[in-house]
Structure 1
Amino acid sequence: MYDCFSLSLREVELILAARGVVVSNETIREWGLRFGHTYANSLKRRGPKPGDKWFLDEVFIRIRGKLRYLWRAVDQHGSVLDVLVQGRRHTTAAKRFFRKLLKGLCYVPRVLVTDKLRSYGAAKREILLSIEHRQSRNLNNRCEVSHQPARRRERHMRQFKSCRHAQRFLATHTPIHNNFQLRYHRLSAGEYRAARDHAFSIWRDATGVALAG
């Protein structure tokens, strides 16, 4: 609930109390730190193979009053491929993000779509030389829209406490949000319920709930 919805730890505590599960918000926070990353990695392994068209974008976030940048990549289906919090948005930062993407996904895209930030072109020429690169502010709307869930969480949490805190939370939040992002506006009622059941089935498998039951 904490990673999927815009809920505070105290709100999750209240919801669980209504269901007869009495725990403190600090216990929930510790659960998230202990199990969240494991669950997120498990969901990544069970998720569908990402598309071959990658959209990259970066937005600024403020951490303790200092400007930082959240780099994000999504595929043509809207699934977030990876995120990385960095202090700059120069060529070195772009190359670092490219390498993180390639290491995590273990394949290269067919097309790369970015805005006109020069750092992307410089990094692409060094790391993804043979890949088609399209640069346009309008073509990159898909990635810009995908920042919205993180923006909502940032406001709800009254900003992140550190770069490490932001990276740790978003690295967990992103795969969980991907799993339950069902795009209901494109589905009939029956299709939506089937997709929702499938998402919960993947979640139970990833977290071991099915085995415990």
Structure 2
Amino acid sequence: MAHTTIMRWVHEYGPELEKRIRRHLKRTNDLWKVDETYIKVKGKWKYLYRAVDSQGKTIDFLLCARQNRKTAKRFFRKALRSSHTKFPQVISVDKNAAYHPAIRELQKEKKLPSFIDIRRIKYLNNRLEQDHRFIKKLVRPMLGFQSFRTAARTLIGIEAMHMVKKDRLPPLASLSLIKLIS
């Protein structure tokens, strides 16, 4: 079987798989670790925002072209809309200047509680930095992506399978996922 066939399957079924498993994900805790990593698309670096809880469970992810306050705010809104997340009590971020204003704006809009502790210490995100390795290990041999759409669809499939691998699904949902795949 050609590798392009497998890639077409990932592009086609990755988003569907992620949509189906998202409703079965186990609840996360209220200690968020947020960071971004870089993915090459058409020879230019794009930003993959990711958030995990203190146990390493993936909260959410978002591929964006820019790294600014507006994008960070969009990522936090997406993460807060997920049905498996709790409102954060503590958010650990790196020194990216976009996070703090985005969180403050969401607090003013009453999307986030005002009592959130924002930690801007570099080494608190080590768990998330280690979690980035999994994605980088799969993306690096691809030598980047040729379009933003294929990058987004591929990363959705990779993240979905990573959630399954991290045992984020209850046992019955895992069985229905196996039936879906076979």
Q: TM-score, normalization: structure 2? A: 0.83
Q: How many residues align?
A: 174
SS in 1 for 2:129: helix
Of 134, 146, 158, which residue of structure 1 is paired with 2:143? Answer: 158
Point out where structure 1 has 5 or more consecutive residues left out of the alignment.
1-12, 14-23, 183-194
Of 162, 167, 175, which residue of structure 1 is paired with 2:152? Answer: 167
1:36 alignment partner in structure 2? 14
Of 101, 121, 128, which residue of structure 2 is paired with 1:122? Answer: 101
**TM-superposition CA deviations, 1:135-172 (whole Å, max 9, x none):** 10011111111111111111121212222222211122
- Which structure's relative contact order is higher, taking Cα pairs within 8 Å and 6+ residues apart? 2
2:109 alignment partner in structure 1? none
Amino acid at match of 1:61: I
Native 8 Å contact 1:51 1:75 kept in 2:
yes
Residue 205, structure 1, aligned to residue 159, structure 2: no
Residue 113, structure 1, aligned to residue 84, structure 2: no
SS in 1 for 2:124: coil
1:62 alignment partner in structure 2? 40
Q: Return the alpha-carbon distance in structure 1 between the equivalents of residues 18 and 37 of structure 2.
A: 23
1:135 alignment partner in structure 2? 120
Q: Which deviates more from structure 2 when the two are superposed, residues 91-100 or residues 160-169?
A: 160-169
- Shift in alpha-carbon separation, 1:129–1:147, aligned structure 2, 3 A: same
- Shift in alpha-carbon separation, 1:43–1:158, aligned structure 2, 3 A: same
Moved over 6 A (4+): none
Native 8 Å contact 1:39 1:207 kept in 2:
no
Native 8 Å contact 2:34 2:128 kept in 1:
yes
Native 8 Å contact 1:80 1:175 kept in 2:
no
SS in 2 for 1:175: helix
Native 8 Å contact 1:51 1:76 kept in 2:
yes
SS in 1 for 2:123: coil
- Report percent identity of matched pairs: 33
Q: Return the alpha-carbon distance in structure 1 between the equivalents of residues 100 and 119 of structure 2.
A: 10
SS in 1 for 2:27: coil
1:145 alignment partner in structure 2? 130
Amino acid at match of 2:53: D
Point out where structure 2 has 5 or more consecutive residues left out of the alignment.
107-111
CA positional deviation for 1:207:
4.7
- Shift in alpha-carbon separation, 1:209–1:120, aligned structure 2, 3 A: closer
1:96 alignment partner in structure 2? 74
Q: TM-score, normalization: structure 1? A: 0.72
Q: Which deviates more from structure 2 when the two are superposed, residues 84-93 or residues 32-41?
A: 32-41
Q: Return the alpha-carbon distance in structure 2 between the equivalents of residues 181 and 101 of structure 1.
A: 18
RMSD: 2.4
Amino acid at match of 1:208: K
Larger Rg: 1
